[in-house]
């Protein structure tokens, strides 16, 4: 049964499909290599779902390319921002930039070309591998940024200084790691396949053999659990250090019989409180964005697969892509010198950045410029 014969839209754009119609009706034979039979139990999806997704993917791609492109441009152009550890922020921006350029744009266009993945089986596997590579690169880079901020804020002068050589080696490690974890499915360990409404591709988490189960256990552990634990540890220590520092300042102020040791407390939260808020925001965003996708893949591999419907599979995958848009704001906009440079280099954005009035405000800036 062809896709055109399996369903139609009535005059009110309600979808009507014949008895026995399946999501797999009309799928090209050569594409079945990367489509699990699991999806055949579901009826055809309303075309509006895919078209809305296509528009959202193109919108996210535009935002990601602009936001991350701006981060790379400013950090690389301004000499004062070209410190070794700031290259981690550049690497994060590049990973997110490449993620949406290779993931969002092909899907956003492909959805309007065909109701299913239009580029063939090998392109599906390549798409999934690139998404895995750039996604994990962003995740590992966020862990490194968390360590750098922990090293500066918590360890202070006792922390190990990250020079240009060490930063370069860390970046080499990141890209070696993400390439090594992305290519095993091409050599027989695990696999890549189409997912959800069959317009995107990702891990093949529906196969029931040990080959695929072992790979998914490995990917879940090293790409989600381990980074999450590191991020929680680094930022919890940062928050703890901020709280202790704030308490010490208040105690000292009380001894001196003054309300505060800062002259600008009336202007809003102190720098330390802002650091704590950014740290908590980083952890919560990371957990919120990546957890639904991780949970769905684990349910598909080890749980009740009947719960993994096309939309249940597709929505977390889309949510994970939003990280590439959010990261420039969380990691770059929390950098005061970046905002200063942005106000100078791109004045049409209308950003006004005032320099701190005291050394206390910059003593614990959650960025890498002091490393």
89-122 residue pLDDT tens: 999 999 999 999 999 999 999 999 888 999 999 9
Read off the pLDDT band of 4 (50, 70, 90): low
Closest CA relative to residue 185, chosen from 224, 218, 228? 218
Q: Encoding tokens for residue 48?
A: 């509006």
Angle at the Cα of 118 from the Cα atoms of 117 and 122, rounded to 5 degrees: 80
CATH number of the domain encompassing residue 261:
1.20.1070.10
User: Which residues does 161 contact at the CB level (< 8 Å), separation at least 6?
Assistant: 371
**Has residue 160 been placed in a domain?**
yes
In this model, does residue 369 exceed pLDDT 80? no
**Has residue 369 been placed in a domain?**
no
Structural domain tally of the chain?
A: 1
**Burial degree of 37 (CB within 10 A; 0-12, 13-18, 19+):** exposed
What does the pLDDT average to over 133-150? 91
Chain centroid, CA 256 distance in Å: 47
Give the pLDDT score at 101.
Answer: 93
Residue recorded with tokens 């996708």: 293
Give the pLDDT score at 119.
Answer: 94
Give the pLDDT score at 121.
Answer: 95
What does the pLDDT average to over 359-365? 39
**Has residue 368 been placed in a domain?**
no
Confirm if 306 and 206 have CB atoms less than 8 A apart. Answer: no
Closest CA relative to residue 107, chosen from 95, 132, 93, 124? 124
In this model, does residue 309 exceed pLDDT 80? yes
Q: Encoding tokens for residue 213?
A: 């189960």
Q: Encoding tokens for residue 326?
A: 């959010």
Give the pLDDT score at 131.
Answer: 94
- Answer with the residue of higher pLDDT: 140 or 1: 140
**Has residue 367 been placed in a domain?**
no
In angstroms, rounded to a whole number, what is the distance separating the alpha carbons of residues 32 and 44?
A: 16
Q: What is the pTM of this model?
A: 0.85
Give the pLDDT score at 51.
Answer: 87
What is the rounded average pLDDT for all residues in the chain? 83
**Has residue 332 been placed in a domain?**
yes
Give the pLDDT score at 15.
Answer: 60
In angstroms, rounded to a whole number, what is the distance separating the alpha carbons of residues 55 and 107?
A: 10
In angstroms, rounded to a whole number, what is the distance separating the alpha carbons of residues 155 and 170?
A: 19
In this model, does residue 3 exceed pLDDT 60? no
What does the pLDDT average to over 195-223? 93
Residue recorded with tokens 């754009």: 13
DSSP 227-279: HHHHHHHHHHHHHHHHHHHHHHHHHHHHHTT-S-S-S-GGGSS-HHHHHHHHH
Give the pLDDT score at 70.
Answer: 92
Confirm if 149 and 194 have CB atoms less than 8 A apart. Answer: no
Read off the pLDDT band of 270 (50, 70, 90): low
In this model, does residue 363 exceed pLDDT 50? no
In angstroms, rounded to a whole number, what is the distance separating the alpha carbons of residues 35 and 191?
A: 11
210-269 residue pLDDT tens: 999 999 999 999 999 999 999 999 988 988 888 887 778 777 777 777 766 655 554 445
Tell me what percent of the residues of the chain surpass a pLDDT of 90.
47
Q: Encoding tokens for residue 84?
A: 């070794």
In this model, does residue 371 exceed pLDDT 70? no
Give the pLDDT score at 152.
Answer: 84
Give the pLDDT score at 99.
Answer: 94
In this model, does residue 370 exceed pLDDT 70? no
For the ranges 6-15, 27-36, 147-156, 339-348, the lowest mean pLDDT is seen at 6-15
Find the domain containing 19 and state its range.
Answer: 3-362
**Has residue 131 been placed in a domain?**
yes
For the ranges 42-51, 71-80, 175-184, 300-309, the lowest mean pLDDT is seen at 42-51
């Amino acid at each position: 049964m062809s896709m055109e014969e399996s369903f139609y839209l009535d005059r009110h754009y309600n979808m009507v499909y014949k008895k026995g119609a399946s999501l797999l009706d009309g799928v090209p034979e050569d594409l079945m290599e990367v489509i699990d039979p699991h999806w055949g139990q579901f009826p055809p999806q309303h075309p509006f779902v895919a078209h809305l997704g296509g528009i959202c993917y193109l919108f996210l791609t535009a935002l990601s390319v602009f936001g991350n492109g701006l981060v790379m441009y400013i950090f690389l152009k301004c000499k004062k921002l070209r410190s070794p550890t700031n290259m981690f922020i550049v690497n994060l921006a590049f990973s997110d930039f490449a993620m949406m350029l290779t993931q969002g744009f092909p899907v956003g266009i492909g959805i309007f070309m065909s109701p299913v993945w239009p580029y063939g089986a090998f392109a599906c596997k390549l798409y999934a591998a690139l998404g895995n590579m750039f996604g994990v690169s962003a995740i590992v880079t966020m862990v490194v940024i968390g360590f750098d901020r922990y090293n500066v804020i918590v360890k202070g002068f006792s922390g190990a200084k990250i020079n240009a050589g060490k930063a370069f080696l860390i970046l080499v490690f990141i890209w070696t790691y993400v390439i090594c974890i992305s290519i095993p499915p091409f050599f027989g360990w695990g696999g890549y396949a189409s997912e959800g409404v069959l317009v995107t591709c990702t891990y093949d988490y529906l196969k029931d053999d040990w080959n695929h189960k072992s790979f998914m256990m490995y990917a879940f552990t090293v790409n989600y659990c381990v980074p999450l634990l590191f991020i929680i540890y680094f930022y919890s220590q940062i928050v703890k250090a901020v709280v202790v520092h704030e308490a010490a300042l208040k105690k000292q102020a009380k001894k001196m019989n003054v309300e505060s040791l800062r002259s600008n407390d009336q202007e809003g939260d102190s720098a330390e409180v802002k650091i704590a808020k950014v740290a908590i925001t980083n952890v919560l965003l990371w957990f919120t964005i990546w957890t639904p996708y991780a949970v769905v893949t684990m349910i598909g591999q080890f749980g009740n697969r009947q719960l993994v419907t096309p939309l249940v599979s597709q929505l977390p995958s889309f949510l994970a892509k939003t990280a590439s848009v959010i990261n420039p704001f969380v990691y770059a906009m929390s950098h005061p010198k970046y905002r200063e440079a942005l106000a100078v280099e791109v004045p049409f954005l209308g950003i006004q950045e005032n320099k701190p009035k005291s050394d206390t405000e910059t003593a614990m800036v959650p960025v890498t410029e002091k490393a």
